[in-house]
């Protein structure tokens, strides 16, 4: 079963939200049109430091 998590991949003032999909130890991202401000990152989004 796949898991879906909202993440941001950068740490700027306004960040693009990505959907992280994990299935059978494979990882992929879907870019969304949503933007969040840095002040709301800790409450809503996981900051992702993984780079391909």
pTM of the model: 0.72
- What are the pLDDT digits (tens) for 25-38? 899 999 999 888 88
- The answer to whether residue 52 is domain-embedded is no
Number of independent structural domains in the chain: 1
For the chain, give the percent of residues with pLDDT over 90: 15
What's the CA gap between 48 and 10, in Å, rounded?
8
Two tokens at 42?
Answer: 């800790």
Whether 36 is covered by a domain: the verdict is yes
Q: How far is CA 11 from CA 3, 8, 41, 42, in A?
A: 23, 8, 9, 12
**Residue 22 belongs to what domain range?**
3-47
Residue 14 lies in a domain: yes
Contact partners, residue 20, CB within 8 Å, separation at least 6: 4, 5, 6, 7, 27, 28, 29, 46, 48
Q: What is the radius of gyration, based on Cα positions, of the chain?
A: 11
């Amino acid at each position: 079963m796949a898991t879906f998590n909202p993440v941001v991949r950068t740490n700027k003032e306004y960040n693009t939200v990505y959907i992280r999909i994990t299935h059978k130890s494979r990882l992929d991202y879907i870019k969304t049109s949503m933007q969040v401000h840095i002040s709301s990152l800790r409450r809503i989004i996981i900051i992702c430091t993984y780079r391909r």
